Amino acid sequence: MNLKEARIEVEKLTNELNKHNHLYYVENNPSISDYDFDMLLKRLQDLEQQFPELASANSPTKRVGGDITKKFETVVHKYPMLSLSNTYSEEEIEEWVTRVKKQVEDDLEYVCELKYDGVAIGIQYVNGELKQAVTRGDGSQGENVTNNVKTIRTIPLSLKGDFPEDFEIRGEIFFPLKNFQKLNEQKREAEEQEFANPRNTASGTLKMQDSKVVAKRGLDCFLYGVYGTGNLREGHYETVQKVADWGFKIPPNSKRYIEKTNSVEGVMDFIHYWDKERANLPFEIDGIVIKVNKYHKQEELGYTAKSPRWAIAYKFKAERVETVLEQVTYQVGRTGAITPVANLKAVQLGGTTVQRASLYNADQIEKLDLYENDSVFVEKGGEIIPKIVGVNLDKRAKDAKKIKFIEHCPECKTELVREEGEAHHYCPNSKACPTQIKGRIEHFISRKAMDIDGIGAETVDALVEANLISNYSDLYTLTFDQVVNLERMADKSANNLLEGVRKSKEQAFPKVLFGLGIRFVGETVAKKLAKSLKNINALQKADFEQLIAVDEIGDRIAESIIAFFAEESNLEIVEKLKSLGLKFEVEEKENSSDKLDGKSFVVSGVFTAFSRNELKELIETNGGKNVGSISKKTDYVLAGDKMGPSKLQKATDLGITILSEDEFIALLNG
């Protein structure tokens, strides 16, 4: 292929990928499968490698990230990003409407919008191409975060239609709650400190140096303010509707995210509606923004030094309760991480009874300046995690003692350590600290790891306390006589335990690797490592450069793996597990193929010839992907008996192909 032919194909692929990206992420109406999209993207990547001069700064390949920004340059805003005056009072909203009417006597229209709790962004487009994205900063200047913004799929890199030559559009970048919760699940799995709330996490993500990491987190954006176009339409509401034609994701009026009204009653109706309904949104809001709609009325009203007179924000009161801090206790994780927990006098918050709140680490205790028996204010951070946000100093006893973070492990009394750059204190006594030993064994037997039936946390406690096991490899040398003598252990349960241990030897290498409990190596990371390095010997010998070359493996994971295999006791356990017959290499299965490559499946119900797990394994070994819930991205639903009617209805409504067990086998057999 010559340069001319390549240029034609690159342009065609770029237009096609931009179209499909918009259909999927903005209109929620995909027209091709994920696999087909990925194949188009791979073809474009190959052409850009072969002909670097054709690689545009706004190529769809930029969506996956990869650019490293060592320092974010400061950029002066062409149009200052003013803050809005705000209030928590409905009476003050009515007073604002009265003031506006006095200044502008004609009938007025108001636009009510959700006040997204995220990061304000201004994006400049020149000749239909994304040129620059800048944060609010101090209002007069912000930081250039263009590389990271390009990874957000709902923000177009190139526009369509009758867009102006040079303009700026503004909006809010936020963290969808589903993606935020997934990120915190990964943090919990790795025993790292969880993120406190979506807004701060969105802000921190947008300032990350590696855009590849930003791309994986799944930020989203609504765009709602246009500057530098002249009076494109007569009012703000009409302009927002217009820019959707250029490819922007705007707040949908069909869901009441934006609404136009000509009365204060209409404004109040919008506020009252979302004060109740905001809990059902897939993202966070902290209030409502009300604007005078017509641009010429906005100009007439003008500005104060800090904010426009033609707009105001009504902020919802965060639900906050006051209760008593009864005690701070400390939990020891399986990796030795120490997490302080606030034990509270029970109190109702957000429809649930709250008795505990995480204090994260020593720095948080110090920041809050907590004393024993303090009266504390508790909120639900991100409406998800209860957190202490302050102290009622008026109720603090004069003789109260300041809470100091412990210096020794609450379980084994070993002196704690805190490495430079680490948020947590750790107990270094990994070989003898009872809680760490039990935690690692419980992790090893868990469903996502070795999935050993017949043994739970209580049984692990009993086995450790009876000195029958000191690490997870000892499970495989237990005898019936040892187990049956445990308290509340009958013959049948003893046999079930031993049978569960024996069956676990059949688990595949990725599950064994995850079960080892290497810090930061979660379920997904274990699969990536196993797929890339194939066996435990290669993993043990891999150096830092080899490890970070594996997809999704960063510096900290690589360092943790190297540290794990540098410990002689860990090597001994791995060797023992090898000799006992556990699988430490990837097996190339006879029935593996790529017949289901790129296809996603939801498996639900009861089946005849195969168990659900066996069907899921067949899907994965033939290139398919198992997903937990039905969405427009799902290619097939594999339906057995007793499948829930609501799932079946959803699949039918979305037009997803529903397969019986026999039809699935026929699909595999071609």
Token representation of residue 326: 């009864």
Q: Which of 268, 283, 315 is the last residue of a domain?
A: 315
Of 64, 94, 114, the one marking the end of a domain is 64
Query: How far is Cα 226 from Cα 122, in angstroms, rounded to an integer?
Result: 9
CA 282 distance to own-chain centroid: 12
Give, for 40, the enclosing helix (H) or strand (E): helix 34-50
Token pair for 512:
């064994």
CATH label of the domain that carries residue 309:
3.30.470.30
List of E strands, 80-236: 86-87, 110-116, 119-126, 129-135, 141-143, 166-174, 220-227
Q: Provide the domain count of the chain.
A: 6
Domain that holds residue 447: 434-506
Q: Which residues contact 352 (CB under 8 A, 6 or more apart)?
A: none
Q: What's the number of CA atoms in the CB half-sphere (13 Å) around residue 102? A: 7
Intervals of the chain under pLDDT 50 = 382-383
Q: Which H helix or E strand runs over 340? A: strand 337-349
Position 531 scores a pLDDT of 83
Is residue 42 domain-shared with residue 106, that is, in the same domain?
no
Is residue 306 domain-shared with residue 449, that is, in the same domain?
no
**Torsions phi, psi for 100 (to 5 deg):** -60, -45
C-beta of residue 202 within 8 angstroms of C-beta of residue 266: no
pLDDT number for residue 67 = 73
Q: Given this model, what pLDDT does residue 545 score?
A: 92
639 shares a domain with 497 = no
Position 589 scores a pLDDT of 61
What is the pLDDT at residue 488?
A: 84
Task: Give the pLDDT score at 554.
Answer: 84
Q: Is 388 left (phi over 0), alpha (psi -120 to 50) or beta?
A: beta
Gap between the Cα atoms of 547 and 198, Å rounded: 30
Whether residue 143 sits in one domain with residue 264: yes
3-class DSSP state for residue 499?
Answer: helix
As a whole number of angstroms, the distance between CA 567 and CA 559 comes to 13
Q: Which structure tokens are listed for 191?
A: 């025993």
426 belongs to a structural domain: no
Give per-residue burial for 211-233: e unless 16+ CB within 10 Å, then b. Answer: bbebbebbbbbbbbbbeebeebb
429 lies in some domain: no
Q: How far is residue 142's CA from residue 136's CA, in Å, rounded to a whole number? A: 5
| 488 and 517 part of one domain | no
In a domain, 307, yes or no: yes
Q: Note the pLDDT tens digit of each residue in 26-53.
A: 877 778 877 788 788 889 988 998 898 9
- Catalytically annotated residues: 115
Whole-number Å distance between alpha carbons of 55 and 61: 9
Alpha-carbon distance of 304 to 467, in angstroms, equals 74
83 and 99 share one domain = yes
Q: What's residue 385's pLDDT?
A: 67
In a domain, 410, yes or no: no
The answer to whether position 348 is within a domain reads: yes
Secondary structure (3-state) at 290: strand
- 413, part of any domain: no
Strand partners, 70: none
Co-location of 247 and 352 in the same domain: no
Structure tokens at 41: 């993207």
| The pLDDT of residue 125 | 96
- 83 and 114 belong to one structural domain: yes
Please return the burial class of 390, using the count of CB atoms within 10 Å of its CB with bins 0-12, 13-18 and 19+. middle
Q: What is the CATH number of the domain that holds 336?
A: 2.40.50.140
Provide the 3-class DSSP secondary structure of residue 537. Answer: helix
Residue 457 is given by DSSP the state: H
- At 86, which helix (H) or strand (E)? strand 86-87
We report the CATH number of the domain holding residue 575 as 1.10.150.20
Determine the pLDDT at residue 231: 61
Rounded Cα–Cα distance for residues 370 and 392 (Å): 10
Q: 306 and 390: one domain?
A: no
Tokens found for residue 642: 């007793």
Strand partners, 639: 604
Q: State the pLDDT at residue 11.
A: 92
* Vertex 558 angle, CA 555 and 559, to 5°: 85
106 shares a domain with 230 = yes
Cα separation, 26 vs 31, whole angstroms: 13
d(CA 257, CA 111): 11
User: Is residue 408, in this structure, part of any structural domain at all?
Assistant: no
CA gap 274, 349 in Å, rounded: 19
Decide which of 395, 419, 450 is a domain's last residue. 395
Question: CATH code at 52?
Answer: 1.10.287.610
Residue 635 phi, psi (nearest 5):
-85, -40
Same domain, 208 and 162: yes
Tell whether 403 is covered by a domain.
no
The values of phi and psi at residue 135, to 5°, are -75, 165
Contacts with 644 (C-beta within 8 Å, 6 or more apart), sequence order: 604
In the prediction, which pLDDT does 355 show? 92
173 & 245 share domain? yes
